[in-house]
Structure 1
Amino acid sequence: MADPRPLDFSSLRKGMVLGPEHHQFKLIKPVSNSPIGQVWHAQDLSTAAKDKEPDKVALEVINPLLLKSNALETFKTQVTLCKQLDNIHIAKTYGYFMSREGWLFTAMEPISTRSLAKILMEDGYQHLSTEKARIILIQVAKALGYAHNKRISHGDLTPWNIIITPKTGAKLVNFAFRQPLLQQIQQQGMRILNTEFHAPEAFDHVPLANSADIYSFACLTYQLFTGHPPFSPEDPIDSRDIESLEPPKQLSAEQWSVLKPALSDNPGDRPATAAKLMQELFPPKTVQSPESESPAESGKGISDKLKGSKSSARSALPHISFARLGIAALIFTAGLISGYLLASYYLDKQNEELLAKFAEVQKILTLTPSLENKTLLNQKFAELRILNTDPALISAIGAQVEGYKVRLQNKNAERNRPKSIIVSDSAIKPTTSKPEETEPGSAFTNGSVFKDEILPNIFGPNMVVIPSGKFKMGDRNRRGDDNELPIHQVTIRRPFALSQHEITFAEYDLFAINTGRPLPDDEGWGRANRPVINVSWNDANAYADWVRRQTGLAYRLPTEAEWEYSARAGSSTAFWWGNDKGINNAACDDCGSQFDGIQTAPVGSFKANPYGLYDMTGNIYEWVSDCYNDNYEDAPNDGSSWNVGQCNYRVMRGGSWYDISRLIRSASRYRHPANSSRNSWGFRLALDLEN
């Protein structure tokens, strides 16, 4: 009997049916070729119904030369892993299939638009502003963070595997399953494409560590700001020299110093996550106070600029020639609209006017909210609705317009005292010392719990009133380190408030979303009422600044002395409950809780101390305001922040789920760089009550 006819891509044709008997696919048209295989648009015949066309899918038919490789089992495992990925910025993988002819292929979500690589080649990277590039990178970083939390790396992150779609923006394709096949291609001596984006260790083993994706992400970042990748595919991997690279002109020297380590051939030098790299590359801009606004920034006179002819209207906007941009640039121009909805519009004269009107609306949306700008915005939005009837586009822009109005309401509300709600006015008295009472006329008594409105009908963290008093600060039980000495008396002269719990993901995410900051990684442990982690001192301070601006009240990070005073809650023992760590009093490495050495506990999982504060010991280290000093010589004795010393390092208190019990003592202290973060670090807020 003759051997079966060898497989050849030339035998694939439109209308051909592939797949096992129980799940077949009909080929529609070929899309692309690579050493790994051939991509086709196809129909999933198993989804056909009486009155319904079969669902469209993309098939990658694997190169027949790879079908006998040892990598196939790993390939199948990776495809199976990828089936669990369900993220808006990752193309869905449906599985792998084998046809009776011997073809092996994967079925994926169909993507009809162009890759980022093709957009850059055809339209030129010069149309990609810093803001547009940042939006793409944020979306890619979110996709990587999601997959990395599930211990799945992409392994082939290049501009060819990033698609810019009309509805969701950036979407990653070919996630993970190409890794073993790329390695096999290299071993067979075939040329691998786009190696300039691969980490030096990319072909050493499969699956790859997440750090390999961070390297590729850094290469992508470099390309978006220079127009070319940092290295050439012809460069031997061992000759890649970071120091010889030309710094991207669109990035500052400080930003370049952040990006360079991500391009290191040493995985340990790279940031832990792409989100972390983005956060350090593009720290949120400081929001200007209304008093410092210039007429141009406040929108004064913008009405005149936007009135009149179409050309005069455009003169107030960035110089954009819509007819020359191309559809991809229109996608980017509409980047502030969720999903880049303008991508589906063609460049005829009517849509030229539509796009100009859209740009006018977008320009007003960037201005500081004012009644004049609100009136102008309503007018321009009405004109836009006349030109366009697409409900999805109008709905998306309408949401932005409503958001602008909310911002104006918030700004007006700031002129008045924000609302405060008393959660509990039953004072929680310390058990071991008699605190001084608050001054006559004070709104709250010691131990009261309240919260302040930070957005309309949205309130900030619960705050507990802490009494004034005196205490001895430092290692009173001789269990600590030299940096806890000398013991010294501190006087807290006025009551203040401290957040009842560590700031949660729910509270921090509200801030991040409202200010455009990346959401910190939750390590897959959950968000909501778990303490926010993976935040630096800079992040914590920015949150405090935001709450202060939103409320008009003196929110800030607590001082180190305030923190220890509150943690002790009148005690002189190692822990507020005594000198013995006990069982299940906190989350640390050896505290006898279900969270020990594993992950954070939801806030409030353990007993409150006598001041009504939760988790002051263990769970997460908490940033405080002070600069670090090696000991308490010359430390303030009035409870104020110590703002001299090693100010590139900031003090953290309380220990964490990861640390031994000795480090969660009330006196224990540590320090880290202000721009660093880990999954065991967070913070809480303080509030001055003078006013």
Structure 2
Amino acid sequence: MRMPGTDLSGRIERRPGPGTRLNGIYEIDELVATGGMGEVYGGRALETGSRVAIKMIRRDMAEDERLLALFRKEAAALHLLQHPAIVRYYVFTTDPDLRCPYLAMEFVEGESLLAIARRRPFDGPAVRVLLRRLAAGLHAAHEVGVVHRDVSPDNIILPDGDAAQAKIIDFGIARSRLDGSTVIGSDFAGKANYVSPEQLGLYGGIVTAKSDMYGLGLTLVAALLGRPLDMGGSHAEVIRKRQAVPDLDMVDAGLRPILLAMLQPRPEDRPASMAEIAAWADAEPGARAPQARPRWRGLAFAALLAAGAAVAGVNFSLPPPAPAILPTSTGPAHPQDAALEELKSVPDAPRAPNAEADRPETPPAEPPPAEAAQESAPAPHDGAFRDCAQCPEMVPVKAGSFAMGSTADPTERPVHRVTLKRFALGRHPVTVREWKACVRDGRCAPSPEGEDDAPAHNLSWDDAQAYVGWLASVTGEPYRLPSEAEWEYAARAGTTTRYWWGDRFRADRSDCRKCGPAAPNPPSVGRFPANPAGLGEITGSVSQWLADCWVPSYRGAPADGSARTTRTCRERVLRGGSWLTEAEAQRLGSREFYDATVRYPGHGLRVARSM
């Protein structure tokens, strides 16, 4: 699964200035801050006038895959989170004119916790307020499987200097419990002075919610002291300082017990969750700090430890029965409740060199025999028709059943049997010529770019709905967007391989980002062979909007191939990948989603018609 808008290569054409409009949604007012990797602008939403923060990658770094992946990580993490202590996410997309990826989010005015603490250290009651609010916010993140991994005083903003309004920002290196790596790498991410022992590979090296607990503990100590504890230095010193609890004699005595619990070197010795820490902050001063759950070492070993502890005066305990991060959910069926697996959409770094299956392959001199394993295929494309002169050519697809999904990604599971009625699907994505007919009737916008035979692109789901509505009105036929099941059934055309032609990507079957020189528009239709059902540009042309609301798994998916929809879903599904995407995104099982109201250059549509 991919979060669309992730193919953001291409140099930013110019630096945005005051008055620059982005996607017709936001307008930039001023440059607020410039950092090592990005720029943050203040702006406003054109519809409401609300203030927004607009984060962009610096122009000189706009082609760095690792930084783009970092940016996507932040967007996907924020998309999951809704809590007063976490900065609100609005949209992540690319402006087609600037060719500039940006993240629009809540505009939070205020200084960082670190800047305020350096001028005036916080007292115990104020830090208790911080502890309650930040622990609750991080617990909300952990509940949906997101670990921040970089909790530090400069990633916390205090509007009006008020601890009760503290906001956590910068989820750029956040990690999902469904995806074990980060864009920076699985071994380390975060600032050295606040990083947990396990982020350095100690004590098993497994990063969980308890890593944020450790970072929050050091952050609160810095707030109390007006300076960070000295936890940095050489690599050896950084590790040595995390093999024991730091000296906390100088901090507020009322907070010392909870901070000692949070800063235990071994993750299993820290409290069970941020919820326990927030509850402690809500309790009366002097309440006992939450302790780790018992650690089981085995009866004989436990007895030995107990004997040693009796001599040394050390308390040993038994391990927790489950990891700190929440167990896997059975998965929500409603689109608005479903975001647990979204971060799997974001690639962490450029693909490893051994990813042979997705490397574009030079076409052989003679086409090889058909590689694709066959299931029951849809009908061949005999009987294609048009309902009007300006209508797309439609290919009938016979009724049948197939196994939908794959095991390649959590969002593509479970594989399940779907049985479909007969329907028709456009032979190609809707072209510029076909789109222009709707524009002339005053029913579609925007005016399309590109050659007449190229797919219409830079379309939102709302745009696609306007087109099929117009088509239905001029023909009197039930035109609509395909369901996700209809798309995959017709795209596979009876095959069970990664691509309809086989398991290895072939550059003579589909366009892709690395298949040739970069192009501003998708290639004209008919350039590549059709699949066995007679459908062209299944992949590598434009990502095709579908009727379904985004749900991050197939749990509860209808067995009749109908679309999963609600009245209120914000994101809709796209399939097929575009000429801007990597080959992996063009697997027939690969899924993506996007805000239904926002246009993106790689998005277009293919129409369906009930039969």
TM-score normalized with structure 1 length:
0.37
* Bigger helix fraction: 1
Larger RCO: 1 or 2 (CA < 8 Å, sep 6+): 2
Greater C-alpha Rg? 1
TM-score normalized with structure 2 length:
0.42
